[in-house]
Amino acid sequence: MPTYRYQARNGAGQVTAGTLNAESVAAAASALRGQGMHVMALSPAPKEAGAGVGEFFARINSRKPTTKNVLDFTTQLAVMIRAGINLRAALDGIAEQTNHAAFRKVVNSLKDDVESGKQFSEAITKFPKLFGPLYVSMVRASEMSGSFSEMLDRIAGYIGQQIETRKMVVGASIYPGIIGTLAVGVTVFLLAFVLPRFYLVFEGKEDVLPWATRFLMSLSHFMTAEWPFILGGVVALAGMIFVVLKTEVGSFWVDKLKLTLPLFKGMFQSLYISRSLQTMGQLINAGVPMLDTLTITGDISGNQLYKGMWHRVHSSVKQGRKITGPLLKDGLMPRSVVQMVAAGEESGKLGEVLDEISDYYSKQLKDQIKAVTSMIEPIMIVVMGSVVGFIAMAIILPIFKMSQLVQ
């Protein structure tokens, strides 16, 4: 709310000055007159030195809620419910303690819906981007079984595990991205700014120049002469790739590529298996019906191929068949995993078996991420060194050769 500085005379004839908050100048003047004052001067107060910083952080705080906000909310709600606080009071308390303005609105909306008589599982469906199908299904199952706080703990554990996994995968991608960007940047710098300085030195001596030097000189000349078209082509290609990746066909081929790249396929396979089986195990242990479990598992798997596999499992189970048939046929699950799933299905302990398998693949994923990162580092260094070395040698060798001819 804006702040206004005023100067006014009260009923006793004394002149006073100060500041007040109001929606507008008219509202500020009305408020002063309501206090029996005669307004002499009224103007917006100058902003304090730290106001800009405050507004900056306020804008940051108004950003969209994240998965971390949902995790904190779920953990706090579980603790309050377990302490015997009713749901409405718990939501009210969380809303007061939440510093994130946008998420506070979400919690207040949930509180209003609960006060109006809606089930909590129904209230959270208004925010599908924050509370996905797994969250809604597990909460709905807990409302039927009366294990709300325990289910919230389980959901919080699941969300925390997914956040940790996402951080590991993103962290493993940062280093190769930085090294690759540096390699491209250094190469462009050498070709566009360093090599052109040797044009006069090599001019007229093309016959004695090595093929590598002639190739790089031609490439450098093309880059410096046609750089607007090259830049436009790169931007157009990047935009086209972005658009294609947003399509179902494009995302399918990218997901397929992830499972075929020699260095990365094991890591991605462990990621999708761990995520799928952990989701499925959590839902089964929560008492969610099998068909709903398989649908949600496919949607959360994160890969089009695995999503299709789980949807085929859904169709098979819907026809009265077992889970393991489509899993063996697709080949996306190792045979040992399918055998363990089959054993859990036969023994009636499928949820426990799935939890154990997902824990194993979560640990395997961590080991594979470390292995991939340790292998990428020397590979990227060798590639970057080879490119820079090739350019340097293409410049140095002809100079050394011409110096020998002069002697």
Whichever domain contains 96, its CATH number is: 1.20.81.30
> Is residue 49's pLDDT more than 70?
no
Q: Do 219 and 345 belong together in one domain?
A: yes
**pLDDT digit string, tens, across residues 171-188:** 777 777 787 788 888 888
In the chain the first and final C-alpha atoms are separated, in Å, by 82
What does the block give as tokens for 389?
């070395």
Of 183-197, 262-276, 305-319, the one with minimum mean pLDDT is 183-197
Judge if 205 and 268 occupy the same domain: yes
Domain region containing 19: 3-46
Q: Within this chain, do residues 251 and 302 fall inside the same structural domain, yes or no?
A: yes
pLDDT above 60: residue 62: no
Residues 235 and 89 in one domain: no
d(CA 366, CA 45): 56
Q: Is the alpha carbon torsion for 396, 397, 398, 402 positive or negative? A: positive
Cα–Cα distances (Å) from 394 to 38, 374, 382, 401, in that order, read 85, 31, 18, 11
Asked if the structure places residue 56 within a domain, the reply is no
pTM: predicted TM-score of the whole model, two decimal places: 0.68
Same domain, 116 and 172: no
Determine, yes or no, domain membership for 356.
yes
Are 13 and 38 in a shared domain?
Answer: yes
Q: Is 225 domain-assigned?
A: yes
Q: What integer best gives the mean pLDDT of the chain? A: 82
Greatest mean pLDDT among 102-111, 134-143, 158-167, 199-208: 102-111
pLDDT band at 323, cuts 50/70/90?
Answer: confident
What pLDDT is recorded for position 389? 83
* Dist. CA 136–CA 293, nearest whole Å: 12
Instruction: Answer whether residue 53 shows pLDDT above 50.
Output: no
DSSP assignments along 202-235, one per residue:
HTT-TTTS-HHHHHHHHHHHHHHHSHHHHHHHHH
Domain count for the chain: 3
Residue 133: strand, helix, or coil = helix
Note whether 97 and 79 are within 8 A (CB): no
List, in order, residues 6 or more apart from 26 with CB less than 8 Å away. none
Residue 312 and residue 331: Cα distance in Å, rounded?
13
Sign of CA dihedral 114, 119, 121, 127: negative
pLDDT score, position 52 = 46
Local confidence band at 47 (pLDDT 50, 70, 90 cut-offs): low
Examine the domain organization and report whether 220 and 326 are in the same domain.
Answer: yes
Query: Which pLDDT value is given to residue 349?
Result: 87
Q: What is the pLDDT of residues 87-106, one digit of tens each?
A: 888 888 888 888 888 899 99
Give the mean pLDDT of 65-80.
89
Both 88 and 144 in a single domain?
yes
Coil, helix or strand at residue 24: coil
Residues 197 and 257 in one domain: yes
